A and B are shown apart, each in its own frame.
Chain A
Amino acid sequence: MLTLYGQELRSRLLLGTARYPSPAALEDAVRSSATEIVTVSLRRETAGGRQGGAFFDLIRSLGVHVLPNTAGCHSVAEAVLTAKMAREVFGTNWIKLEVIGHQDTLQPDVFGLVEAARILCAEGFEVFPYTTDDLVVGEHLVEAGCKVLMPWCAPIGSAMGPQNIPALRAMRAHFPDMPLIVDAGIGRPSHATTVMELGFDAVLLNTAVAGATKPALMASAFARAIDAGRDAFEAGMLEPRDFAVPSTPVIGKAVFA
């Protein structure tokens, strides 16, 4: 069982709600993934418009926890205000905190991230920070009050999969009791299995599912891959060896010559 800010969860898959071909495709993907947390955002409503209402109704009908984000924010002030507005709309203290530092790579501005996390934690938010795999940044986020860390494993939407496995392994070892969620860069189920085998607690996906030819089927594939990786981590895996080891017992083998 995964516990995030006191909330117990059976699923270790967090699912984004963007880039699906239709609202029905999003709904199907959420249901087939069995996710219990979806991410959402806030954007300007058009005058006289009702755009947000239909989406809000769809999200509420799914019966899952909502994790609003501060995607697109490039400053501490923007991220903090967006978080406060998200709490007003969604009625949750959870916030996926993004402070973007680079336009092309969407790499987090980790200095702004720590500053924004400190402000929001002090105001009662439960912060899920989108960060890098840097241990020192992670320590500062924990000191700021974060009780979850969400490192990237590759740039957002890149589908490249884990680019620095030793760094992810070090992060797991450095924060043994902290829920760690890989937030970005996963492209295929085997990537998710890999990070779960390293001992990460969960995976947050969006583009890898929404961009698939059959999003609902891919959501299901990811759910099973994540569970397989988690089971493997808990079961205890063999370390690779440089030599062969016979699996069939040698003692008692017949001698024919």
Chain B
Amino acid sequence: MKLTVNGEDHDLTVTTLAELLAALDFEGDWLATAVNGELVHRADRSAHSLSDRDRIEILSPMKGG
């Protein structure tokens, strides 16, 4: 299905958010995820089904003022 991940288009065969993270080689307890503007908690990623055209944001800690 077609997904937008951090602003980039992808065509992937995945069904859940956890599978998407694994497919794109994201790992680490420092990641935060959102789908279509809504936070998806770490514990809910395996149960969160993705749909065609979903927009996913994967954020991590960065320096800031």
A residues touching B (Cβ–Cβ < 8 Å)? 16-20, 26, 39-53, 55-56, 59, 68-69, 71, 77, 81-82, 84-86, 88-90, 156-157, 206-207
Contact = CB atoms under 8 A, between A and B. Distances in A.
B62 A43 contact: yes
A18 B32 CA distance: 20
A44 B59 contact: yes
Contacts of B32: 42, 85-86, 88-89
Contacts, number: 112
B47 interface: no
Interface in B15-65: 24-26, 28, 30-34, 37-39, 41-42, 57-65
Contact of B60 (A52, A71, A82): A52
A134 B48 CA distance: 44
Interface of B: 5-8, 24-26, 28, 30-34, 37-39, 41-42, 57-65
A19 B64 CA distance: 8
B20 to A, nearest CB: 10
Contacts of A89: 30-32, 59-61
B64 A45 contact: no
Residue from the set B8, B32, B33, B37 with the largest chain A CB neighbour count within 10 Å? B32
A42 B65 contact: no
Contacts of B25: 47-48
Given A19-B65, A45-B26, A45-B58, 15 more contacts: A16-B64, A16-B65, A17-B63, A40-B61, A40-B64, A42-B60, A43-B59, A44-B58, A47-B26, A48-B26, A50-B28, A51-B60, A52-B59, A52-B61, A89-B60
